[in-house]
Structure 1
Amino acid sequence: MPRLPSSLRRAVRHWWLPALAALLVAGLCAAGLVLYVDERGHRERGMTVGPEQARDRLDVKVHLLHSDPATQSVTAWVDIDPRGTLRQPGERDVPTKDLVIETSSGERPVLHYPAHQPIRTETLVFHLQKGSISDYPFDRYITSVAFDPTADGKDIPVVVRMIDADPFFVAHKVRPASKDLGTGLRLSFRRTLSNILLAWFMMVVMWLMALAVLVGARLASWYRHGMAWAALSWMAATLFALVALRKAAPGDPPIGSAFDYAAFFWASLIIAVSVVYVVAIGFKAEHAKILKKR
């Protein structure tokens, strides 16, 4: 097999590492775009339940705006649109009959809309269940979003379409809501992939910072030149940087969450112990120097 010219071999040895790094960066960027497009597509498709073939029906569009684990609630805008004979001709949101809609919202269980009067957009709050914010960033929640409408006292079909617009949580369909609640979906809420990846990245960074300080403390202790002020300044700055990084965690997790027990508490402890260790070794070395001078 013929050998490559020496100049070409040198060029290959010189450029293979930058080329590999460029391919790695391009691959990561492409993977990130694919994940972003997939999550965005899921949000735009929405989730629909109900007899869409029915002519005389009620269309309910639910915009899931904000999930708040601290209050165990999810806030949504609700647009109601009568169809067929339930809609006044020439009007989009004016019903021809008195509408009463029972909802799965704990705060607004019943909505009333008189005939021949425009229907306004409602803000409803649904309660989150089976989840704890202390599990951050792995916390998940369950809620039911359902509607059971009547027109002049008679049951009417309803189509419920849900659009996920929460930047921190993503909703997934678990199953149809209980028939006792009406037409709707039982939803599972979990943090978005971007939030989970960022939380994991922050935990890894915390551990790397702590281990770097630990290695620095060990090296500073080997030389025993006295108080290593530069090293101590760097370690103290790292400790404060760790606290600032903790505050920047998306979703404002409470102190004592899984995030803290997985990284923050231990990283802070390692850095604090390293600072004390370097001070103790430095004090011992300085004390020895003073004794020699005497």
Structure 2
Amino acid sequence: MRRLPRSRDRLLIAGLVLLAVAAAAAVGIWVQVGERQALDTRYRAGASVPDRVDIAASVQRVDAAGREMVLRVLVTPRGDLAEAGGISPARTLTLQTSPSVRGDLTFPAHGRISTVDVRVALTAGSVTDYPFDAYDAALEFGVVQGGEAVPVRMTLSNSDALFAADIDAYEADGAAVFDVGLARSTSALIFAVFMMAAMWALALAVLIGAWFLLSRRKGLTWPALGWMAATLFALAAFRNTAPGAPPIGSLLDYMAFLWAEALIAFCIITVAVMGMRAEAHPPEPKD
């Protein structure tokens, strides 16, 4: 008879399982804290003189398929450039931007300034490289008030949890310049890789089940066929949960999804055809 594990062995296995769970939780917390710190990071460029225009901008959303990102901008004049309350420019203020930003912004004198969402075109990269796609954006902001260039101080941050931003901030000719690199966040990348591994695992599970049915000449085993068909359609729904909703034809599809679907469909068809033949020609009973 097979000997059951002793109490010490069971305690050792339980301890190893708890240690593995604790290690996985610790890694998850470490990744989450790192991403939270990245979202809280502020990048600054420009002059810090009293009479200046402050610009606070944050990346609200990155649309990889549309190759653009939405930037929320708040402009605040300081010192002699603002009226007494500090929320309105003393003279008409124009925010001049780089070509990648969709148009300059003009704020009339004595008018209240509110936040504005602007769209920025992305360069490099392609969404079909998902989940390893990466993009660039060049931002340049200068301010003209009353026909004269005035000092500017800008702060840029990232609020899109699906993307990690690598930002280089500096000042050039009185303007605040930011070179932004965007890539999938660690959590989105981990989940996408897990999806690909899960797709292959499910496809291999269906392949093993089909091999068992064919080698044993089980015929039309309806519960098994139902499980295979359910897996085929469940994978399509599972694929649509990918972070960022990548389009069909991305690297995720060519590395896992399309192959898994093809393999499962082949297994279903083969099991159905061979099962029908087995049902039509059952083995003769032995005497």
Give the TM-score normalised by the residue count of structure 1. Answer: 0.89
Q: Say yes or no: does 1:85 pair with 2:80.
A: yes
Give the match for residue 132 of structure 1.
126
Cα shift at 1:95:
1.6
Given the alignment of the two structures, is residue 165 of structure 1 paired with residue 183 of structure 2, yes or no? no
Supply the AA of the counterpart residue of 1:168. Answer: L
Specify whether residues 180 and 210 from structure 1 end up closer, same or farther in structure 2 by C-alpha distance, changes over 3 A only.
farther
The CA deviation string for residues 184-207 of structure 1, in whole angstroms up to 9 with x for no partner, is 201011111111111111110000
Q: Is the 8 A contact 2:43 2:169 kept in 1?
A: no
Work out which of the residue numbers 5, 11, 25 in structure 1 matches 2:7. Answer: 11
2:202 to 182, 201, 209: 209
Could you tell me which runs of 5 or more consecutive residues in structure 2 were left unpaired when the two chains were aligned. none
- Other-structure match for 1:115: 109
| Structural mapping, 1:92-111, within 5 Å | 92-104=86-98, 106=100, 108-111=102-105
1:201 and 1:44 mapped to 2: Cα distance?
A: 27
Q: 1:233 aligns with which of 198, 206, 226?
A: 226
Q: Deviation string for 1:40-77 (max 9, x for gaps)?
A: 1111122111123x221111000210111121111121
CA contact (8 A) 1:105 1:125 kept: no
**CA offset at residue 108 of structure 1?**
4.2
| Separation in 1, partners of 2:266, 2:126 | 32
Q: Secondary structure at the match of 2:248?
A: coil
Q: Show the counterpart of 2:142.
A: 148
Distance 2:50 2:23 in 1: 49
Partner of 2:29: 33
Q: Is the 8 A contact 1:104 1:126 kept in 2?
A: no
Residue 56 of structure 1 contacts residue 83 of structure 1 at CA under 8 Å; is this kept in 2? Answer: yes
C-alpha contact (below 8 Å) 2:232/2:261 kept by paired residues: yes
Q: Distance in 1 between matches of 2:214 and 2:255?
A: 28
Query: What amino acid is the match of 1:18?
Result: A
1:180 deviates by 7.9
AA at the equivalent of 1:188: G
| Aligned AA (2:207) | L
Instruction: Quote how far apart the aligned CAs of 1:107 are.
Output: 6.2
Distance between the aligned counterparts of 1:13 and 1:116, measured in 2? 78
Correspondence for 1:198 among 176, 191, 199: 191
Between stretches 129-138 and 280-289, larger displacement belongs to 280-289
Q: Distance in 2 between matches of 1:205 and 1:193?
A: 18
TM-score (norm 2): 0.91
Structure 2 letter corresponding to 1:42: A
**Alignment RMSD, CA only?**
2.1
Q: CA deviation at 1:173?
A: 0.9
Unaligned runs of 5+ in 1: 1-8
Task: Provide the rounded CA distance (Å) in 1 between the counterparts of 2:13 and 2:21.
Answer: 12
* Counterpart-to-counterpart distance in 2, 1:216 and 1:108: 55
Name the SS of the counterpart of 2:109 in structure 1: coil
Contact persistence 2:94–2:106 (CA under 8 A)? yes
1:59 maps to what in 2? 54
Q: Percent identity?
A: 36
Matched, 1:74 2:69: yes
Q: Distance in 1 between matches of 2:103 and 2:174?
A: 10
